[in-house]
Every structure is written in structure tokens, then in C-alpha cells.
Amino acid sequence: MSESAKWYEEIKRDSVLYCRRFLNFFLGLGLLVPVSVGIEAHRLGESDAFVPLAILFIVVLVSFLASIFLSDRRIEYLYTLILVLYPLIYLLMTFFPESHQTYVILLLCMPFVFDVLANNRRISLWKWKSYAFLIVFIAALPAVTGNAASRWKTDFNSGGFYTIHASFLMLCLISGIIQRHTRQNMGKMTSFIMTDGVTGLPSIVAYRESVLPSQPTLVAIVRLDNFSELSALFGYSFAENALKLAANRLSEVRLKLDGSAFRLRNNDFGFLKPLAEGELAEETAKTILQLLAGPYVLQEKTVELNYRIGCTVNLGGDTEKALNEASDALQKAKELGLDIQVHEEDPGHALSAEAAMADLVILSRNVTNKTLCLFYQPVISLATGNIAWNEALLRFRGNENEGEYLEPARLMKLANTTGHWTAIEDFVVESALVHASSPAGSVSINVGLRDFDRSAFLEKIEAGVQKANEHGSHVILEVLEGDFGRANEKRLEAIQALRSAGCLIAIDDFGIGYSNYSRLISFPVDIVKFDRSLVQTASSSDDVAILMEKLTNFCADNGALTVAEGIETEECAEFFSLMGVDFGQGFFWSKPIPEIQALPAGANDLRITKELFLERHSGNPHTLRRYP
């Protein structure tokens, strides 16, 4: 059964309440018919009508009480009983004397009773109506053939007989048209709700209904990660067409993996796949990502669509829980810079109130008491072995009485919520700029793209860059690769202004997932830092190594220097040196260390020219020795 049909069936099941209310109202009015007709018969002295009217009253009264007190499941039997008996009661009334008012009313009400009560029965509506027409035909036949036993023959002349039956047929036609129109509208409404108008995929309503409780199911949210970027660069119409292309590719993946694809909201898609025994969610998600990868030609432009997947395995059929877990996994993938994240059950589900309060205390104390500090990790020229610059890395002081320093990831996330972000960023920039203006040499600073919206921040950077340049040092601003998707025109102008003032711009963590390499052309980038996951994979994967070599050459052709992050062995350093990567960073040379321990950077090891290095510095006294 299709998802639309399932939803349609759900609507029909909800109509039980409507059927019950209709029946209550109809039978309530039905009680008035034999009473009012009986009063009129008494006035006219037609005593023969009392018996059938009494029988009809009792039948209607019992049905009315049953419609009130029966359960939803048992009332279905009452509906069927009424559908069977109603035409027969009508037939019986046509043979009782002085009952013409009653059987005429029963006849004219019959189309609506059958349209409502027979619409949801197991036997189709047209079969019930055929049964009703047959009884009406049997009741009319004696009158047509001239049989005096029929009350139709004695109570009405031919004109009245045919007029009433024509009215009956007209009411049948009207009620049929109403029913057909209702079904068509319901079908359109179902299609509108169950199908996304842009991509043609089933909607989030269908997604919720499709999670099966009977077997383990991969529940995934697939995000088109560079949708905002495409929209900003080429316009919303272009990005919407990209959504359609992504939906078509996901439909192809659905066929290959025997799964189901959906459009959720914005640039998120849903994917469901029943998992066979031994089939892992992460491997299936990787397969989805591989099948989605590849260039697209759209409006004479070749684009690469980036995807990120958050997924979980649903075991109990709790749809909302599965969706929440997949959404949490997607958010975690974004925070960690991963393409795929499978939901992992957290025993505590979240930080306890005590732990959250402890983090807030540490954050507030560091900002208020100005106990934040910077550690520095060197970036090494692979050609000379010298320190080209030092990267400034924020650390929080943990216990005030001990030399404990905490990495910033969790606390900076909290700072976003509490409003401490700006103060912390200002501290990092001010401290790093002082470092760059000292004999310690060039320095790089991690900044968020939203900082470029603050004019005071930009003025501070520009002044620091000028002062550092006077001392022969460079200031490098490192922006996360994912942040460039939010680079609007105003921010790009700010970046260009800083570059004109002598600042260098680096794209950090480049290569996480399927990055949009057009950023290397579209955005003002001087240095490209390859993410440690890409670097470490390239050391063991020929395919990734070939990709990195091509990216390195591509960067060089576009005037950008390259840095390999996460180098931990001498062999790895030599590998990337031979590949043509300009700089390396990692534990092979040094972990992040306090400023007082950091060695100064060489004055000539950072050059933004296509020739890259104009001279060797084999005798440079600042050549770094490995730390134990």
C-alpha cells in the first residue's frame, strides 16, 4: 500500500466519529417521524397506521440508544445492521395501510443514509447502493404492474408515484456527486500533504508514517550542506534546482538500496532503509554518501553538492524518537565537521545540571578574572624544517589552584549561549596581535566569520596587522571551511579590506567530507589547511593521496599555500613534502604549548607568492627541535 493510501485510510478511520454523530442526529430525528405521523393519523382517525408506526418507533429507539452506548468497534455492526434493515423496513411500510407519509420519508432519506454509513464498510459503496436500488425496485414493481396490494398504488396516482421516485433518483445523483467531489478533494489534499511540491518526493508526513516497528530500520536525515552557499552565489532559483537534482539522485539511491527517500524541510532529505541482519548503519550511510557524490551540470554550471548525514537505527517503531536521534546526530556531525554521524546513546542523555553549572562557573570565572590563556602550536615549512608561524589556540584555566588547562570546544559552545563569545574572541585577537608584533614572529588566529560583522573587531585587526608587518611578521586569520557558506557580500568586502592591509586569510579544516572546491576560486584565500582526517587518510589511501596531490597543485596554481594538519610521524612529513605541500603541523613537531615555551617563527618562511620560497633556510637558528 502506498504512503498516500495509508494516510487516506487513516482519514477514513477518523470518519467513524462523523458517522456516529450523523447516525445519532438521523435517528434522533427519526424518532419524531412515527410520533408526528401517529398524531396526524389520530387526528384523521386512521387507526390502521398505529401498528407499523409503533414498530418503527421501537426499532428507531433501540438503534438510537445503541448508537450512543456502543463502542467504536461494535458500532460497526450497528451500521451494517441498519444498512441491511433500512430498505427492508421501507419495503414493509409500502404494504401497511395509512403509512404513506412514513415510507415516502424513508425513501427520500435513503440516498444520504447509504452514502454516509456505507462509505467505510468492507463491502463497497456501489454494492450497498445496488442492494438499496433492488429493494426500491421490488417495492415499486407491484405499483407499476397494477397490483392493488402495494400502498403506492392505492395512496398515490401515477403522477405522484413517478414524481416521488424521480426525486429519489435525483437525490441519489446529488449525493453521489457530493461523495465523488469529497473523495477527489481528499485525494488532492492527501497528495498535497504527502508529496513535496518542489522535489516530488514524499513529504515529512509520509516519512513519519513509514518508520516500521517490525524490523531494525536506518532512519537518516541527509542535508544538502552547501544549499545556502549556492543560493547566495547564484540565487535561490538556482539553489532550488539544485534541490531537485539532489532529490533525483536520492531517488536513484533509493532504488539501488531498496530504501525510501523523502523531502523533509528546507535543505534536509529523509532516507529509510530496513537493515538486514549484520548490516551496519554507518556502512549503509557511507554507501548513500558515495552514491550521492559526483558533479552536476546545472544551468551550464558544473557544481559539486555537499551532503552531511545524521542517522540512527530505529528498533521500536517510535517515530518521533528516531527523528530526534537522527537530528541530534546531524547536529553533532556538523559540530565535529564529519560527513556521517550515527546516533550514540548517551546514558545521561545530556550533561547533568551539576556538570552544566560547573562549566558555566569555569566559563564565567575565566572571562571575569581574565584567566584565559593562549597556547601556541608551530606550523613548519616542509622545505626548510623551520617554523613559519605559530597558531594561537585558546585554553581555559580549570582549577584555579592547579595548572589545569581545558580545551575550548565544549566551553565555547556554552559561550555562544551565554553571550561570552565576543569577550573571548576579543581576548584571543588582542593577545595574538601582541605576539605577532614581538620577536616571536608570525601568528595565526582562529576567528568566526560572524566576527567580520563587528567594525571594532575589524579596526583592531587592521591596526594589529599594520604593526606586525612593521616588525616583519604576518597575521593570519583562520576561518573554518564550513563558515564560508555564510560569507555574504559585506563579509567578503571586510575580508578583502583586511587582505589589502596585509592580513592573510586561511581556510581551516579544508577537505572535511566532500568540500566545495570552488571556494578556492570564489573566496579570497591565501592559505589552505587540509584537515587532519584527510591528511591521515592520504597516508594510507592511494585514492585520497592522489586527490590531495591534485588539490595541492590546484592551490599552487591559484596562489594559495598549503598546510597538512595532524602530522605525527617523520614518514608522514616526508610524504607530504614530496607531494609538494608547503607546511606541516602536528604532534611530530610539537603539541600546543604555553606562550613562554613557544619558539619564535622564522622571518622569511612565510611567502605568499607563486614561487612560494625564494630561498632555503637550512642554517636558520629557529629550526624547531622535536619536543619529547
Q: Identify whether residues 338 and 375 lie together within a single domain.
A: no
Q: What average pLDDT does the segment 116-141 reach?
A: 82
If pLDDT is split at 50, 70 and 90, which confidence band does 626 have? very low
Angle in degrees, CA 337, 338, 342, rounded to 5: 135
Domain limit, last residue, from 194, 229, 255: 194
User: How confident is the model at residue 379, as a pLDDT?
Assistant: 92
Cβ partners under 8 Å of residue 622, min gap 6: 386, 387, 599, 600, 601, 602
Q: Identify whether residues 174 and 266 lie together within a single domain.
A: no
Write out pLDDT tens, residues 368-407.
Answer: 777 788 899 999 988 888 888 899 888 887 766 556 777 7
pTM score, whole prediction = 0.45
Whose CA is closest to 583, among 533, 542, 546, 624? 624
Question: Residue 458: phi, psi to the nearest 5?
Answer: -65, -40
User: How confident is the model at residue 613, as a pLDDT?
Assistant: 33
215 has pLDDT over 70: yes
User: How confident is the model at residue 77, as a pLDDT?
Assistant: 82
Between 174 and 34, the higher pLDDT residue: 174
Q: Is residue 602 part of a domain?
A: no
Q: What average pLDDT does the segment 65-83 reach?
A: 81
If pLDDT is split at 50, 70 and 90, which confidence band does 609 have? very low
64 has pLDDT over 70: yes
If pLDDT is split at 50, 70 and 90, which confidence band does 42 have? confident
User: How confident is the model at residue 308, as a pLDDT?
Assistant: 92
Cβ partners under 8 Å of residue 371, min gap 6: 365, 396, 397, 400
Percent of the chain at pLDDT above 70? Answer: 82
Q: Is residue 27 part of a domain?
A: yes
User: How confident is the model at residue 17, as a pLDDT?
Assistant: 66
Q: Is residue 434 part of a domain?
A: yes
Write out pLDDT tens, residues 1-19.
Answer: 344 445 555 555 556 667 7
User: How confident is the model at residue 4, as a pLDDT?
Assistant: 43
If pLDDT is split at 50, 70 and 90, which confidence band does 537 have? confident
Q: What average pLDDT does the segment 350-358 reach?
A: 58
604 has pLDDT over 70: no
622 has pLDDT over 60: no
The three three-digit cell numbers of residue 182, written as one number = 469529497
User: How confident is the model at residue 612, as a pLDDT?
Assistant: 39
User: How confident is the model at residue 350, as a pLDDT?
Assistant: 44
Q: Is residue 628 part of a domain?
A: no
Q: What average pLDDT does the segment 110-125 reach?
A: 76
The three three-digit cell numbers of residue 430, written as one number = 588582542
- DSSP codes, 412-471: HHHHHHHT-HHHHHHHHHHHHHHHHTSTT--EEEEE-GGGGG-HHHHHHHHHHHHHHHHT
User: How confident is the model at residue 452, as a pLDDT?
Assistant: 84
Q: Identify whether residues 145 and 272 lie together within a single domain.
A: no
Angular region, 235: left φ>0, alpha ψ -120 to 50, beta rest: left
If pLDDT is split at 50, 70 and 90, which confidence band does 351 have? very low
Q: Identify whether residues 179 and 246 lie together within a single domain.
A: no
User: How confident is the model at residue 170, as a pLDDT?
Assistant: 92
Q: Identify whether residues 140 and 212 lie together within a single domain.
A: no
Q: What is the CATH number of the domain that holds 326?
A: 3.30.70.270
By the 8 A CB rule, do 343 and 328 touch?
yes
Q: Identify whether residues 131 and 247 lie together within a single domain.
A: no
If pLDDT is split at 50, 70 and 90, which confidence band does 187 have? low
366 has pLDDT over 90: no
Q: Identify whether residues 318 and 358 lie together within a single domain.
A: no
Whose CA is closest to 446, among 480, 484, 416? 480
Cα dihedral sign, 534-539-540-545: positive
Q: Is residue 10 part of a domain?
A: yes
Task: Please state the domain count of the chain.
Answer: 3
Name the average pLDDT for the chain: 79
Q: Identify whether residues 152 and 256 lie together within a single domain.
A: no
Domain limit, last residue, from 292, 323, 342: 342
User: How confident is the model at residue 266, as a pLDDT?
Assistant: 84
The domain in which residue 483 lies consists of: 353-403+411-597
Q: What average pLDDT does the segment 181-192 reach?
A: 70
Q: Identify whether residues 272 and 365 lie together within a single domain.
A: no
If pLDDT is split at 50, 70 and 90, which confidence band does 209 have? low
Q: Is residue 622 part of a domain?
A: no
Q: Identify whether residues 445 and 392 lie together within a single domain.
A: yes
Q: What is the CATH number of the domain that holds 520?
A: 3.20.20.450
CA diameter of the chain: 131
134 has pLDDT over 90: yes
Q: Identify whether residues 450 and 391 lie together within a single domain.
A: yes
Cα dihedral sign, 47-52-58-63: negative
Quote the DSSP letter at residue 293: -
Q: Which 3 state secondary structure label does DSSP give 604?
A: coil
545 has pLDDT over 90: no
Choice among 256-260, 382-386, 447-451 with the minimum mean pLDDT: 447-451
Q: What average pLDDT does the segment 53-61 reach?
A: 81
Percent of the chain at pLDDT above 90? Answer: 7
Choice among 287-301, 352-366, 448-462 with the minimum mean pLDDT: 352-366
Q: Is residue 18 part of a domain?
A: yes
Q: Is residue 430 part of a domain?
A: yes
User: How confident is the model at residue 593, as a pLDDT?
Assistant: 87
Between 184 and 490, the higher pLDDT residue: 490
Whose CA is closest to 487, among 500, 470, 505, 465? 505
Q: Identify whether residues 384 and 451 lie together within a single domain.
A: yes
Cβ partners under 8 Å of residue 205, min gap 6: 7, 193, 194
